[in-house]
Structure 1
Amino acid sequence: MKKTWMLAAVLAMVLAAAGCAPGEETQPEQDEAPAGSDQPEEVPGISPDIGEEPQVMGFDAEGRILAVSSGEAGGSVLYAVMPETGTAEEIVRTELMITEAESHKSGRLLLRLDSGEGEARLRLVGEDMAEKDLIVESHDIAWSWNPDDWTQLYITAFDENWDFEVYLADASSGSLEAVEDAGPFPVWTEAGGVIEILDDGNLEDGGTLVDGGGSVISENVLEFSTDGTMFVIAKAVTGGGIDYLIGNGSGEWLQVFNLPAGDQWLGLLPAKIEPAGPGRFATLLPAETDAMEGVTAWQPAVISTRGIRKASAVVESPVLTCSPEASACLTGAMGERIFDTADGTVVNWMEQLKGDSGE
């Protein structure tokens, strides 16, 4: 599981090129042509082996879409799909259910498998992997993978009361070493650094963002993301609002957006923040900030030192996963839409493969 905060969770999503001066907001361009209007005359259908409604997990290191379908005799099968053509490669077939899949830039994959027996089971797929799964007795699990060293993983195991234990795992051997005095979500950054949000017990004002040495980066942080050089944080402010800020983590923060107070997200960020390329971060912003009964529409947006740029597209689901290497993000209840973070277009890749025009 990629970095999150609290398990009550926050959702996720994203999109589009950088643009606009600091503190400014780029208005949606109403005269843009709909994305996906120029489609090939013949588009191959998605492989029938994947099924009509695969469960989309994210991207692999090559920019292919990772999708899971049920196996013929139960269990599940993980495929890597080229979104332009529907060409699919079977990656792994297992008797258990694959509930999450994360790609490492080394090309290896980490799978979360549901055994239904009260244990967290992680399986690494690729060369030089441990022969056995990483297994931790737990009710739920979170992890963070070292981007520079595929052998290192922080694993957090939660029990039914959300008490937790943190382990440092060696993926090459399968060994687990308990980590003392750790917060629930230590997150690897570039060059072996570690950062995390420490909970102060008050859900409404966030926690303290610290580095591996315990130095404070910022207070009242609800969510953060980093590309190893720059940080974007969502910070709770007086009155219930949320400030989105970008900086290098050791100096002044540049405010790029303020989300007004709303009862529907007290203490919880509306959507996650994801790296979307060097110096760029993607998120989803509520399109209806005054919706007291909950948000039903979301606008993808890209944050950079130039400010924040919202997409003209509006989506109905606050779920997002991004590939900085491919400059693209997936969103939608089934991961059926692709946002291009370079040009801001959005295409329903599942419908496109079936021959429809997308969006």
Structure 2
Amino acid sequence: MINKFIYLIMVFFLFLVSLILLTSCNSYDKKSALHGLSKINSIQIHKESPPTSFFQDLSLPVSIPKGEFSMVIGWLNDEEFVYMTRFSEGANLYRYSLKSGSSRILYESENPIVSTLISPDQTKILIHSSPSTYEGQMNIIDIDGEELFAKEFPSVEMVFEWNQYQSEQLFITAFKEDWSFTNYFLNMSKMELKEIGVRKPFAKWTGESKMAFLDWNEEDISLLSPLIQKEFGKEEVLLKENVFQFDTFLGKILTITVDSIENQATYQFYSENVVEQVSFKTPVLSSYSGWLLPNYEMTSDQETFLTMVPLKSGDADTYREGFQFISVNTESGEKDVILESTDNVPFTCSPNKSLCLMGYQFETLFNIQTKTMSSLFR
């Protein structure tokens, strides 16, 4: 029997590979990109909206300077995002302005780009490329394209986690061919990289010097695990039992547990000091890896949690009823429906919550104020 750790690693990277395959497509059908994203019921995200002129002046579609569109990486601010193109020699990253319609080159890579990650404060971009099968290259640039840090790692795959409390810090996991791994801590302000005593991969920051991780029992087939917190230089602390998935945000911890009898998932928010805050329940879909958890995102002000929710429980492979796109106020628990019926596609929204990039390549721009969808690229 495959031990549980290897199984979970395989599930994670099967998902990663499928996402890369989807995002590496060099062309897409505009109608398909917009399919399933058009039935809109109510939009009630409570924040001051930009003036109407802001939306009228958006410059689309994007004209690509070189190569073919691969994917949008994410937002830099309310008006600019980063996108990637691919060509035979490698890949490029560009910074695009929705106001001016201009693309500015940020990074040119001679090797395939595996993944990219914008820092939580939106001032830096991490680029993970692959010079060879057993080597990973990490480059960190600022949003003007200046290189800040570069390092090669012996690895077949890598995972990165920015510290949202200290934007100069990173948690890095490098996997070898047998899925053994080494965890590293990068402090860019000191230009210091060292191995770190966190005993599991996929750890996330819960404070300036604290991380949390799921403590999988490698011999147990259960998909529920204890959530452990490790403060550097101190003993581990149990935060919660029987957690299926968790995430962390600035000042908040999210745990997701599943009741397999009631077929419900519970999303529970905690403060940084692990005091219970808002919680809500959703139907859950079963999948080959246990349960399918739809896409979600916390807005940059930490006040609004956005997620897709299935209309009822069932089997993920045969479920066809669609998803609601909802917002949850993390202080009051108030829920609003953004899209009444949509597909469970990835999304990421601008800091002012007026625009969302949607789709497997973030190729569709959803305007919350005007309730319209636009294709970013021809």
Shared fold (TM-score greater than 0.5)? yes
RMSD: 3.7
Partner amino acid, structure 2, of 1:116: S
Q: What CA distance in whole angstroms lies between the structure 1 residues aligned with 2:335 and 2:216?
A: 28
User: How many percent of aligned residue pairs carry the same amino acid?
Assistant: 18
Task: Tell me which residue corresponds to 1:263.
Answer: 286
Classify the secondary structure of the residue corresponding to 2:246. Answer: strand
Is 1:320 the counterpart of 2:350? The answer is no
The change in CA–CA distance for 1:87 and 1:263 in structure 2 (over 3 A counts) is same
**Residues 243 and 337 of structure 1, relative CA distance in 2, 3 Å threshold:** same
**Counterpart residue number, 1:162:** 179
**Structure 1 residue 155: Cα displacement:** 0.6
What residue number does 1:95 align with? 110
Q: How does 1:52-67 map to 2 (within 5 A)?
A: 53-61=69-77, 64-67=80-83
Structure (1/2) with the larger helix percentage: 2
Aligned pair partner of 1:48 in 57, 64, 88 = 64
1:22 counterpart residue number: none
Which residue of 2 is the match for residue 335 of structure 1?
A: 362
Matches within 5 A, 1:70-89: 70-71=86-87, 74-83=89-98, 86-89=101-104
User: Number of residues paired by the alignment?
Assistant: 326
State how 1:30-45 maps to structure 2 within 5 Å: 30=41, 40=56, 45=61
AA at the equivalent of 2:227: L
Q: 2:376 aligns with which of 337, 350, 356?
A: 350
Residues 30/281 of structure 1: CA separation in 2 closer, same or farther (3 Å cut): closer
1:250-289 deviations in Å (ceiling 9; x for gaps): 23454312324x4326534423442213222222223563
**Residue in 1 aligned with 2:328?**
303
1:227 maps to: 249
Counterpart of 2:324 in structure 1: which amino acid?
A: Q
The answer to which of 193-202 and 113-122 deviates more is 193-202
Q: Which of 271, 291, 297 is the aligned partner of 1:274?
A: 297
**Deviation, structure 1 residue 75:** 0.9
Q: Please state whether the residue corresponding to 2:360 is helix, strand or coil.
A: coil
The change in CA–CA distance for 1:266 and 1:216 in structure 2 (over 3 A counts) is same
Q: Retained in 2: the 8 A contact 1:317–1:333?
A: no
From the superposition, tell whether residues 237 and 291 of structure 1 become closer, same or farther in structure 2 (CA, over 3 Å): closer
Aligned residue for 2:46?
none
Distance 1:218 1:347, change over 3 A: farther
Q: Deviations over 1:72-116 (max 9, x none)?
A: x61111011224553211111121122322222261211111223
The superposition leaves residues 137-170 of structure 1 with CA deviations (integer Å, 9 ceiling, x where unpaired) of 1121111112343432111111233222111123
Distance across 1 between alignment mates of 2:81 and 2:221: 35
In structure 1, the residue matched to 2:23 is: none
3-state SS in 1 of match to 2:287: helix
Aligned to 1:197: 214
Aligned partners of 2:205 and 2:248 also within 8 Å: no
Q: Distance in 1 between matches of 2:42 and 2:260?
A: 38
> Does the 8 Å contact 1:80/1:88 carry over to 2?
yes
- What are the ranges of 5 or more consecutive residues in structure 1 without an aligned counterpart? 13-27, 355-359
Higher relative contact order (CA 8 A, sep 6+): 1
Alpha-carbon separation, structure 2, partners of 1:152 and 1:257:
34
Q: Which runs of 5+ in 2 are unaligned?
A: 1-7, 20-38, 44-51
Q: Identify the residue that residue 211 of structure 1 maps to in structure 2.
A: 229
Q: Separation in 1 of the partners of 2:350 and 2:190?
A: 28
- Which residue identity does 2:250 align to in structure 1? G
Secondary structure at 2:244 match in 1: strand
